[in-house]
Every structure is written in C-alpha cells, then in structure tokens.
Structure 1
Amino acid sequence: IWERGTRSMVRFEPSFSENKSAVTEDEEVHFTYKELSMTRRVTVSILVTTLTFFLVYDRMAIDGVLLSLQEFFSINDSTTALLQTFQAISSSIFFISIGMIGDRIERKRLLLLAVSLWFFLVFLSLIVGRGMFWAYLLLRTLSAFAYTVVSSLGPVIVSDIFQGRARGYCLMALSIAPLIGSLLSMSISSWFLTSGYSWHSAMLISPSIVLPTTIALLFTMPRHEPTLNFNKSSVLSLGFIDDIKSLLSIRTYALLVFGATFSNLYQRAMSFWMPTILLYGYMANGPSFYWNLPFPVLMLITLLLGFTALLIGMPLSMWFAESWQHGRSPLCTGRPFSRAIPLFVTLSPIVYSLISATAITMFVRMYPVYLICLFLNSLLTGGAAPLTTQIVLDVSPKWNRAASMAIYNLFVGLADSPSSLIVGSLSDVFRGEATDPLSRYNAFVYALYILLGCNFISAALYGTATVFYPSDLAACQDDDMLSITSDEETPILKGALDRRASIVERGLLSRKATLDTTLL
C-alpha cells in the first residue's frame, strides 16, 4: 500500500545487475572503515594518490624525450606516434577488462599484481637494444594495464576507507594527481633531454618511486574480499549491449560522445607532440629569442602558466555557465537560459581552436604573444571538460550513470588513439627531406592546422546537442521517477532499460496512480 502524501516510485535496474545478497553498500564497506586507524587510512590514501601520480608521469614522460628516442631506435615521426596510438588502444581494452573483473577479484591482490607486472615490463623496456623498437612498443603497450587498474580502483579504495567530507578531499587529490603528473613529466623529461642525458634516465624516475610505494601498500592496505553475486549474468550478455543502445538513443548524450571524440583528437595530438614542436622552434630561433632562457625553464614556464590559468578558469567558467543557466548572470538580465551550459561547451572548441592556432604560430614570431594566448586558452576553455561531464550525467538515467561514463570514456579513448599518428604522418609529408629545425617545426604546425578542423566538427555536434538538451533533460527527470527507491525491504522491480517505459512498467505505474487516487 502506497502511503498518502508520499511520492511513490519503483526502481528499475538493468537485468544483469540483480542482487539478492541483501548486503547494502554501506554494510559492505563499513568493516574496512571501522577497523582502520586514521593514520593508516591517510597513509593508504597518500600511497594510492602517489601511485596514480607516478603512473601518469611514466605515461607522459616519454613525450619529452621523443627526439632521443627517435635517435636511439632510428625511427621517424609516424613510427614514433605508434607509442601513443597503441597505448590508447590498449588502455581502452584494459578499461573494459577492469569493468568485467574489477569487482570479482580482491582489490589489494589485483592492484599489487598489476603494479608488479608494470615494474617488470618497464624494466625490460629500459634494457632493449637499438634495433628492437617493436619489442619496446609491445612492452610499453602492455604496461598500460597498471594505469587502468590504479585509475579504476583508486577512487573505490578511497571510498572504502573514508566517508563524508574526508572522502571528497581524497577523491579531489586523486583527480588532481594525474593533471600535475602529466604537466611535470614533460618539463622534467625535457630537462634530461636538453642536459645530454639518455632517455633511459628520464624514464627511471617513476619506477624508483613506484617500487617503495608498492611495498608500503603491501603492508598498509587492507584486504577487501569481493561480494560476488552468483545470479549476475555475464557482462557480455545482451544486458550490456542494451546499456549502450539505450544511452546512445539519448540524442544529447550521443552527440556529446561523438563531439568529445573529435575534440580529443586535436587535444591529445597537441599534448603528445608539444614538447617536440617547441624544441624545434627553440632550436630554430636560438635562446636569445626566448630571453636566453634554457629550454627546460621555457617548458616549465609554459606548463605552470597553463596550469595556473586552468585552476583559475575552471571554477570561473563553471560558475559563469551555471549562473547563466539559472538566470543569475548579467548577460541574461535575470531570466534563466536552459541551454547555457551546452552553449558554453559548444563555443569552447571554437575559441580553443582560434587561440591555439595563434599560439603555435606566434611561438617562433612573438614569444610574449604566445604566452598570452596560452594563458587565455586555459582561462576561457578550462571549464568545458567538467561541464561536458555534468551534461552527460544530467541526461543519463540515475541507474545508468556509471555505464554512461564508461561508454563515454571508451568512445573517446578509442577515437583518440590515431591522433598522434595522423600528425606524425602529415609532418613527414610536409617536411619531405628537410631536416632543419624550422622546417620540422613548420611541418608539425601545418599538420596541427589540418587537425584543428576536428574541433569545428565537435562544435557542430555540441551545437546540435544544445537543441535537444532541454527535452532530453526533462525526459531524464521523468525517467528518474522510476528510480526512486521504495522501502529497503521491498524487492527491487526489474524492467527494461529503454528510454520509454515498457508496457509492463506503464501498467505498474498506472496501477500505482490508481492506488494513489483512491487513497486521496
């Protein structure tokens, strides 16, 4: 019997997620939270964050020593780009694998196994010979497994041992660690390159920190045996496919996924080749053009300036877009604008493209203008990524949000893989037989100009999503009426994952409405 005056709801969940264990999430993690001392919990959190930082550092440090790597293996730009291409593909595959096994294997065991395997593979990659690039490529590709494990399990581990505000602080640290690791890695590895050290030296930093961190985790991290659900069917069943079909039937979601895919093509290629492009420009003009600053200092200024602008621009951009949407911005004269957030996301790749094209052109012509463009780019477009994630979650049903983020990252990761290869291949074509630094710099710039077109395709997709956003948001809010939980002891009703309720679901809701009316 539905109580009068309360909003009655039924929660419909995927058919493959049936849980008859009667163990709630709070009960499942409470034992770990209760038994650990605060010192041990903080230690585990710091160690997991450190592990995340240096695994990201290892992935990105290779970008700063590409010239040394090319000389060592005698490879061209397009072959070098295979490192990023294969790493992106393997990461996407490994993310799917972690989604399948992450909750079925004890977390501490899986984490330590993955990091130990990573350490072994990285060690082998540092001792390969000059004529063994393909062996090096294979080892680097397989080592991506550890990153996918740590990035997937890290937030889960922190959530097991912390609750409330402390959990939020730890999750924020886990989010910032990859960003700082990627920024510092290119600067530090570039210093090794310009100081005359071998690329091996730059790649030794991460293993030297990861090893003691892993040993410390072995003794401090608690075991967490998984609660298996034997009634759960395979994740490869039609239930998982239905998830994808259902989410992609949401027009705003589908357009955002493909828009982010095109946008990421340029951004990932830019981050991969940026240290090499700037080094060619630096070599072409000489130190005097850049205020006699050493190249590592130049890279450090570039990264710190961009990072500072991002930290300022991200909260400001989000505040502006959300204020505009709710009618609190001076632009809207007090009237809410429901499409403000997707419109901001639509304009971001256009602004990013124009400023980015100016920046890479001005680096060899007017260095101060380059710095201004770099700062403005991060300042004005920094909020696009979190706002895109917010839209994805807003238009996804509550019971499907984890799947929506997984599918979103999967699509973006798979399409991101050829970006560096495209730029490397185009640069080989544009420079021909020329080997001087300025010719190689210009070849990369021309290649990036071509790839900039992907940002305008992304803007067109985002703009189309802006049209559908209000209706999809309203439909999602209606669908969320199906996800309001009943009493804890009431069995969870199962239903289809389609955007519109099935005949059975409609019948249930109709029956409930009749009961509500009768009780009035």
Structure 2
Amino acid sequence: MTSNQPRPRTRLSLRSNSVHYDSLSTEQPDSDTPFMRTNPISQKRSYIAVAVLCYINLLNYMDRYTIAGVLLSIQNYFGIPDSTSGLLQTVFICSFMFLAPIFGYLGDRYNRKIIMIAGMIVWIITTLGSSFVKKSDFWVLVLTRALVGTGEASYSTIAPTIIGDLFTGTKRTLMISFFYIFIPVGSPALGGLGLLLLVFLIPDPPRGASENKGGATMERTTYIEDVKYLLKNRSFVWSSLGVTAMAFVTGALAFWTPTFLSRAQVTQGLRPPCKEEPCNPLDSYIFGAITVVTGIVGVFLGTYISKQLRDRLPNADPLICAVGMLSSSPCFFIAIILAATSIPATYTFIAIGETLLSLNWAILADILLYVVVPTRRATAEALQIMVCHLLGDAGSPYLIGAISDALLKYDQESPHWDFRRLEYSILLCPIIGILGGVFFFMTSLYIKEDRKAAELLNSGNNVLLDIF
C-alpha cells in the first residue's frame, strides 16, 4: 500500500478473560446523544439523589416483609397452612423476578427516572388495595402481592446503576452501602412522598459518567449480545450464584423466624397457642429490631473492611462475602437448635449471624458495578435479580412451609410438633449458606481479571486501530 493511499479503519476488538468485546464504535456519536453529554449533575444534587433512593429503598423492603410480621394473624384470618402462607411471598418474588429483566432491558436504553416513576405508581396503588381484601377473597390478596412486585422490579434494577453513574471509587462504595443498608432496615402512605421526591430530585446521569467523562460511547447492542457478554463474565456468574444462596437464606429466615420463635415460646410454655387473630406480634418486633441494628452494623463493617483490604488484596470483596456466608451458617444452625430451650440465646446467635450476613450487601452491588461495563449494568442487575429470586427467595418461604406441612402427618394435634416440624424445615438454611460461601470463593478467583477487562473496555472505547 502506498503512503498516499488512505488507511482503512476497523473496530478495536478486545479479548480479555475469554470475553470478546465487539461493541466498540469508531464513529463519534452526535453531540445530542445522551452518551456525549458532559455530566451536569452537581455533587450536592448527587448526594440528594442518593438520599431519595435510600428512602424509597426503605419503603420497598418494609413492604416486602410486612406479611412476615403479621403472618400468624393472616394464617388465622384466612385459615391457611404453612405452605400456602409461604406462597404469599413466593408470588411477590416471582412477579418481581420475571419483571426484572424487562426493566433491566429498558433501563439500559431509556430514561431510568421515568421507568422508576411508573413502577412506583403501580406499587402504591396495589399496596393500598391489598389492605381491603375480605376474608373470603384470599386469591385477591395473592394477586395484589404479585402486582406489588412491579414497583420493586423497576426500582431495584435501576437505582443502583444511577448511583454507579453518579460516583466512583471508594465514594461509590460508601453510597452503595447507604443504599443497601435499607434492605435489613426496610408503608404506602409514605410511598406518595417517595414518588414526589423521585420526580423532582432524581437525575438520569449519562451511563458511565462517573468513570468516563461524558459517559460511555459504546454502540447500542441487542439484548442477546448483552446476555452473552454477562454469561462469559465469570465474576458475574459466580457472584450471582452466591447472591442466590444468600437470597434463599435471608428470604426464608425473614419470612419464618417470627412464627418459628412464637411456636418455640409455646413449646416452652411461655405463651399459649394463638387461636384467633390478632396474634401477639412481639417476636416480629424483636426480630425486626435485631435485623435493623445488625443490618446497619454489618453493612458499614463490610464496607470498612473492604476499604481497608481492597488496595492490598484485589479479590478482597468476594473473600469478605465468602467469609460472611460461611461464618453465618453455624450461627444460624446454633440459633435454630437453641430455640427449644432458650429464646435469649437464640436471639443472640441470630444477631451474630445476621451481622455476618449483612457484611455482603453493599459489597455485592459494588462488585457488579465494577466488573460490568456501564451500558450493560441495568441488564446485569436484572439478570442477577431474576436468578437469585428464581432459585433463592422466590421458592424458599414456600419450600420451608411445604416441608413443614409434609411433616404434619406425623402429629396433627401437638403444638410441640408444630414447632419441631418448622425447626427441621428451617435447618435447610445453614446448608444453603455454606454453598453460597463456596460460590463467593469461586468469584474471588476471577474478579481481578474481570475488573481489569471492564475498565479497559470503558476507558478505551474510542480507540482506533490503523491497519496497513
């Protein structure tokens, strides 16, 4: 080729960690495309946005576990067994799970603020409607619980990606920790305020703006291409399996622990069996208070440990998650065994176990944000949500209840056996917790390479190769 002939240009194809990144564009987008805007979000507005997102996250998780707090009363009111009680949580999680990929697809392509607003409107209406269900219309309660999942699917999928585009580095980790602290801490009357705050105070920053000024400039890709990219990302796959095990444990324990402890006290003769609603909600209050305190302590402790170790140990984050899962499982096992003899000891080990489990919440979100490129983060959040709920807490409350009902045939009259059959069912949780720890350990083997691959693609997305 002579020197005066034009050089042909081609896309830069990056291969790292068995992932073929072929979505890079050699053409500069028009100046009015969202990816080329300079980030207009001030630091003050970014902090306000995080505060609003945290507030709405609190409402979401308060609503998710409202049923668990009054489960005994619901069982008596509708006359339903353990397995049907677990179904109330299952239908909610299933709707959340199946809608998450849809919102993930939309969240990577359209205005995220508008999507969240629409989801919250549905959430407020259906949550309010579930308060007026009659005793003879149990199926209506099931339907409203399913529809409530719409709001959480739209919000939980998209909100972390907005935080990821507002902050980077250790500041992002801290903001994510504030957001996820409301999972253990987390009422329709307050939902209206959350909707107004979302409308007026939440921006939709350019995707990738915190890491790359002006945002990411990669071409639009198809959903299938996004999924293929994520399935080749080993850190994403293994951490998603770890989150699934964690969701199984937290979902089952959050739903059944108040009822389990109430039955334990009946067995010990500390209170009579509840035959008519409303039942004594004291165990729900105590368990809720423990969950709030241990959640706050665990999230901040996990964030602090991550911050101290991350620079010296590149795979510190998944190792912290592995240690948290593996060490919480014996605590939950001991708590379950001690429930028949000592309620205070049970609460103590539950508190220790929940603190260890809560180490993971903020770290897990941060892992996803830094091993996945910005324009695929909402899709990644959605797929992780779908998998962790499909194999995790969508089925665990129902499964625990079904096992408990299956054991009922051995003694249908004894309150003591009502406690024992639920005890034997819940013992499945520590076993799944150990499996989750193994999954996070596997994540630690690949996270260094996958993080570098994502950073390389994000920082080099305008690179051209000149070929003779």
Q: CA deviation at 1:145?
A: 0.9
Are residue 413 (structure 1) and residue 397 (structure 2) matched? no
Q: What is the SS of the residue equivalent to 1:447?
A: helix
Task: Give the 3 Å change call, closer, same or farther, for CA 21–74 of structure 1 in structure 2.
Answer: farther
1:70 aligned residue: 75
1:15 aligned residue: 23
Q: What is the SS of the residue equivalent to 2:127?
A: helix
| Alignment counterpart, residue 364 of structure 1, candidates 323, 340, 355 | 340
2:417 aligned residue: 439
Instruction: Judging by fraction of residues, say which structure has more helix.
Output: 1
1:143 aligned residue: 148
Q: What is the SS of the residue equivalent to 1:434?
A: coil
Q: TM-score, normalised by structure 1?
A: 0.68
2:460 aligned residue: 485
| Alignment counterpart, residue 82 of structure 1, candidates 87, 95, 103 | 87
Instruction: Kindly provide the amino acid, as one letter, of the partner of residue 259 in structure 1.
Output: G
| Alignment counterpart, residue 426 of structure 1, candidates 381, 390, 403 | 403
8 A Cα contact 1:10 1:484, kept in partner: no
8 A Cα contact 2:105 2:378, kept in partner: no
Question: Which has the larger displacement, 355-364 or 169-178?
Answer: 169-178
Are residue 211 (structure 1) and residue 221 (structure 2) matched? no
Instruction: Kindly provide the amino acid, as one letter, of the partner of residue 343 in structure 2.
Output: Y
Instruction: Kindly provide the amino acid, as one letter, of the partner of residue 387 in structure 2.
Output: F
How many residues are treated as equivalent by the alignment?
433
Q: What is the SS of the residue equivalent to 1:142?
A: helix
Task: Give the 3 Å change call, closer, same or farther, for CA 408–44 of structure 1 in structure 2.
Answer: closer
Q: CA deviation at 1:153?
A: 4.6
8 A Cα contact 1:345 1:384, kept in partner: yes
Instruction: Kindly provide the amino acid, as one letter, of the partner of residue 258 in structure 1.
Output: L
**Which deviations, in whole Å up to 9, do the C-alpha atoms of 1:163-184 show, x marking residues without a partner?**
9999988765433334322xxx
* Mapping of residues 171-250 of structure 1, within 5 Å: 173-181=178-186, 206-214=187-195, 220-221=200-201, 235-236=222-223, 238-247=224-233, 250=234
8 A Cα contact 1:11 1:482, kept in partner: no
Looking at structure 1, the residues matched to 357 and 97 of structure 2 have their Cα atoms a distance apart, in angstroms, of: 26
Q: CA deviation at 1:313?
A: 4.3
| Alignment counterpart, residue 283 of structure 1, candidates 246, 266, 277 | 266
* Mapping of residues 156-171 of structure 1, within 5 Å: none
Looking at structure 1, the residues matched to 113 and 374 of structure 2 have their Cα atoms a distance apart, in angstroms, of: 29
2:427 aligned residue: 449
2:18 aligned residue: none
Q: CA deviation at 1:70?
A: 2.0
Task: Give the 3 Å change call, closer, same or farther, for CA 97–475 of structure 1 in structure 2.
Answer: closer
| Alignment counterpart, residue 273 of structure 1, candidates 256, 276, 286 | 256
Instruction: Kindly provide the amino acid, as one letter, of the partner of residue 276 in structure 1.
Output: T
Task: Give the 3 Å change call, closer, same or farther, for CA 45–474 of structure 1 in structure 2.
Answer: closer
Q: What is the SS of the residue equivalent to 2:460?
A: coil
Question: Which has the larger displacement, 357-366 or 309-318?
Answer: 309-318
Task: Give the 3 Å change call, closer, same or farther, for CA 82–19 of structure 1 in structure 2.
Answer: farther
Task: Give the 3 Å change call, closer, same or farther, for CA 436–345 of structure 1 in structure 2.
Answer: same
**Which deviations, in whole Å up to 9, do the C-alpha atoms of 1:240-298 show, x marking residues without a partner?**
23223322xx2x54333323323432221111111211222233334489xxxx96555
2:37 aligned residue: 27
Q: CA deviation at 1:308?
A: 3.1
Task: Give the 3 Å change call, closer, same or farther, for CA 88–313 of structure 1 in structure 2.
Answer: closer
Looking at structure 2, the residues matched to 345 and 163 of structure 1 have their Cα atoms a distance apart, in angstroms, of: 21
Q: CA deviation at 1:156?
A: 6.3
Looking at structure 2, the residues matched to 297 and 213 of structure 1 have their Cα atoms a distance apart, in angstroms, of: 29
Looking at structure 2, the residues matched to 71 and 348 of structure 1 have their Cα atoms a distance apart, in angstroms, of: 37
Task: Give the 3 Å change call, closer, same or farther, for CA 50–370 of structure 1 in structure 2.
Answer: same
8 A Cα contact 2:181 2:362, kept in partner: no
Are residue 304 (structure 1) and residue 289 (structure 2) matched? yes
Q: CA deviation at 1:448?
A: 1.3
Instruction: Kindly provide the amino acid, as one letter, of the partner of residue 239 in structure 2.
Output: L
* Mapping of residues 283-362 of structure 1, within 5 Å: 283-287=266-270, 296-317=281-302, 342-362=318-338
Q: CA deviation at 1:19?
A: 7.4
Task: Give the 3 Å change call, closer, same or farther, for CA 456–25 of structure 1 in structure 2.
Answer: same
Looking at structure 2, the residues matched to 398 and 159 of structure 1 have their Cα atoms a distance apart, in angstroms, of: 8
Task: Give the 3 Å change call, closer, same or farther, for CA 140–226 of structure 1 in structure 2.
Answer: farther
Instruction: Kindly provide the amino acid, as one letter, of the partner of residue 64 in structure 1.
Output: G
Looking at structure 2, the residues matched to 42 and 394 of structure 1 have their Cα atoms a distance apart, in angstroms, of: 20
Instruction: Kindly provide the amino acid, as one letter, of the partner of residue 210 in structure 1.
Output: G
Larger radius of gyration: 1
Q: CA deviation at 1:358?
A: 0.8
Looking at structure 2, the residues matched to 461 and 424 of structure 1 have their Cα atoms a distance apart, in angstroms, of: 26
Looking at structure 1, the residues matched to 133 and 113 of structure 2 have their Cα atoms a distance apart, in angstroms, of: 31
Q: What is the SS of the residue equivalent to 1:131?
A: coil
Looking at structure 2, the residues matched to 355 and 318 of structure 1 have their Cα atoms a distance apart, in angstroms, of: 22
Provide the aligned C-alpha RMSD in A. 4.4
**Which deviations, in whole Å up to 9, do the C-alpha atoms of 1:320-344 show, x marking residues without a partner?**
57766777xxxxxxxxx77665455
Looking at structure 1, the residues matched to 266 and 431 of structure 2 have their Cα atoms a distance apart, in angstroms, of: 28
2:59 aligned residue: 54
Looking at structure 2, the residues matched to 119 and 68 of structure 1 have their Cα atoms a distance apart, in angstroms, of: 23
**Which deviations, in whole Å up to 9, do the C-alpha atoms of 1:446-500 show, x marking residues without a partner?**
011134322233334444555x34xx624753675454337xxxx555xxxxxxx
Looking at structure 1, the residues matched to 112 and 311 of structure 2 have their Cα atoms a distance apart, in angstroms, of: 42
Q: What is the SS of the residue equivalent to 2:37?
A: helix
8 A Cα contact 1:266 1:455, kept in partner: yes
Task: Give the 3 Å change call, closer, same or farther, for CA 387–215 of structure 1 in structure 2.
Answer: closer
Q: CA deviation at 1:110?
A: 3.8
Instruction: Kindly provide the amino acid, as one letter, of the partner of residue 230 in structure 2.
Output: I
Q: CA deviation at 1:316?
A: 4.2
Q: CA deviation at 1:216?
A: 6.5
Q: What is the SS of the residue equivalent to 1:126?
A: helix
Task: Give the 3 Å change call, closer, same or farther, for CA 224–47 of structure 1 in structure 2.
Answer: closer
1:257 aligned residue: 240
What residue ranges of structure 2 are gaps of 5+ in the alignment? 1-10, 15-20, 208-215, 273-278
8 A Cα contact 1:427 1:443, kept in partner: yes
Q: What is the SS of the residue equivalent to 2:29?
A: coil
**Which deviations, in whole Å up to 9, do the C-alpha atoms of 1:377-397 show, x marking residues without a partner?**
234444244445555566656
Task: Give the 3 Å change call, closer, same or farther, for CA 28–91 of structure 1 in structure 2.
Answer: farther
Are residue 375 (structure 1) and residue 351 (structure 2) matched? yes
8 A Cα contact 2:335 2:346, kept in partner: yes
Percent of paired sites with the same residue: 20
Looking at structure 2, the residues matched to 144 and 173 of structure 1 have their Cα atoms a distance apart, in angstroms, of: 23
Looking at structure 2, the residues matched to 424 and 70 of structure 1 have their Cα atoms a distance apart, in angstroms, of: 12
Looking at structure 2, the residues matched to 475 and 447 of structure 1 have their Cα atoms a distance apart, in angstroms, of: 38
